[in-house]
Amino acid sequence: MLKKSSICLSALSALFVLTVNSSTTMATEPSSISPSFSPAWTLTEGFAQPESVKYDANRARLYVSNVQGNPPEKDGKGYLSIVSLDGKLLKKVWVQDGLNAPKGMAIVGDTLYVSDVDGLVAIDINQGKVIQRHVAKDAKFLNDVTADKNGNVYVSDMLDNTIYCLCAGKFGEWVRSPDLLSPNGLLAEDQRLVIASWGIRTQGFETTTAGHLKMVTFADQKIASLGADKPVGNLDGLEADGTGGYYATDWMVGKLFHLDAKGNAHLVMELKPGSADHAYVADQKLLVIPMMNDNEVRAWKNK
């Protein structure tokens, strides 16, 4: 089970049913310089609380993590699905054995790494089997995952202001600081880790101040805001746009933001609460977002 904390399981569960964001967001109006998307496809069957989508470039397919239950519980109900780029459900349950409430994912070679409650699970992609589990015994809510160019794998603990790393084969705390502002989405770049922060939390997942993009340099683990530290939203997913900027989702109210290289945010789309950890296939201009509350996965094309 999770380490006991002042945040109860009922508060954790509330994250996935809340439909109102109590914090103030600064970027609320579409901008003429923002990208424009048109609907591509929607899958409405086969998913159970889909939390994250990961693009496998070598195999030209998408993996979808399904929580199917209480996100912090080790109940063995979670599973991974496979979806084609044109919106076909190739396999509803691809991997389930050894998973509880899988969330963020990253790929290193032929291994898919998935965060799962208090552990980082390694899956052999060719076999479709769990081959190893790295446990962070003090973790409260492991969330997103990313990998750097050297194969190091980073995992955010949103409720403990901590980033863990599987570095040189050892899994442990990499950086911990309230300056991380409840880190959620992660994206490894050449010299730094970019973070989509949830914001300054009060009770459970409510925030007094919404989050924005943060960054941590690999060389010295220095934490800073990417651009001005203006509130953007309760940020969840974070993906590169292929041109130096980023796409980020706001889980609580359901929004998609485009952020430039300086962290300036512009609203791209109004979605639904539960818009979670998306994938962006830059060479196809395809955006895929798991709609966690609606048990569906939706895709758009950048016009």
Q: What is the pLDDT of residues 134-152, one digit of tens each?
A: 999 899 999 999 999 999 9
- Confirm whether 115 is domain-assigned: yes
- Confirm whether 269 is domain-assigned: no
- Give the other-Cβ count within 10 Å of 31's Cβ: 13
For the residues 4-21, what does the mean pLDDT come to? Answer: 41
Give the pLDDT confidence score for residue 37 in this predicted structure. 96
- Confirm whether 7 is domain-assigned: no
Element of type H or E holding 14: helix 9-14
For the residues 103-119, what does the mean pLDDT come to? Answer: 98
Residue 169 CB partners (closer than 8 Å, separation 6+):
none
Give the pLDDT confidence score for residue 94 in this predicted structure. 98
CA distance 255 to 234: 10
- Confirm whether 141 is domain-assigned: yes
For the residues 62-81, what does the mean pLDDT come to? Answer: 96
* Owner of token pair 């880190």: 183
By CB neighbour count within 10 A (0-12 exposed, 13-18 middle, 19+ buried), where does 212 fall? Answer: buried
- Per the structure, the complete domain to which residue 173 belongs is given by 48-246
Phi–psi pair at 178, nearest 5 degrees: -65, -15
DSSP helix/strand/coil, 117: coil
Reported confidence tier of residue 206, pLDDT bands at 50, 70, 90: confident
Strand order in the sheet with 162-167: 142-147, 153-157, 162-167, 170-176
**Radius of gyration of the chain measured on its C-alpha atoms:** 17
Give the pLDDT confidence score for residue 33 in this predicted structure. 59
Domain count, the chain: 1
Strand order in the sheet with 246-250: 235-240, 246-250, 255-259, 265-270
Which whole-number Å values give the CA distances from 200 to 158, 206, 212, in the listed order?
11, 8, 10
CA distance 64 to 1: 24
Percent of the chain with pLDDT over 90: 84
**Can you say whether the dihedral through the CA atoms of 259, 263, 265, 271 is positive or negative?**
positive
Query: What's the predicted TM-score (pTM) here?
Result: 0.91
CA distance 215 to 195: 6
Contact 297, 64 (CB under 8 A): yes
**What percent of the residues of the chain are helix, what percent strand, and what percent coil, each to the nearest 5?**
5, 50, 45
Give the pLDDT confidence score for residue 189 in this predicted structure. 98
* Six token digits for residue 137: 């015994």
- Confirm whether 224 is domain-assigned: yes
Contact 278, 239 (CB under 8 A): yes
Give the pLDDT confidence score for residue 303 in this predicted structure. 85
- Confirm whether 172 is domain-assigned: yes
- Confirm whether 184 is domain-assigned: yes
- Confirm whether 302 is domain-assigned: no
Dump pLDDT digits (tens) for 121-132.
999 999 999 999
* Six token digits for residue 199: 């914001």
- Chain-centre distance for alpha carbon 221: 21
- Res 173 pLDDT > 80: yes
* Owner of token pair 């973070």: 195
| CATH number, domain containing residue 178 | 2.130.10.10
CA distance 299 to 303: 13
Element of type H or E holding 13: helix 9-14
For the residues 245-253, what does the mean pLDDT come to? Answer: 97
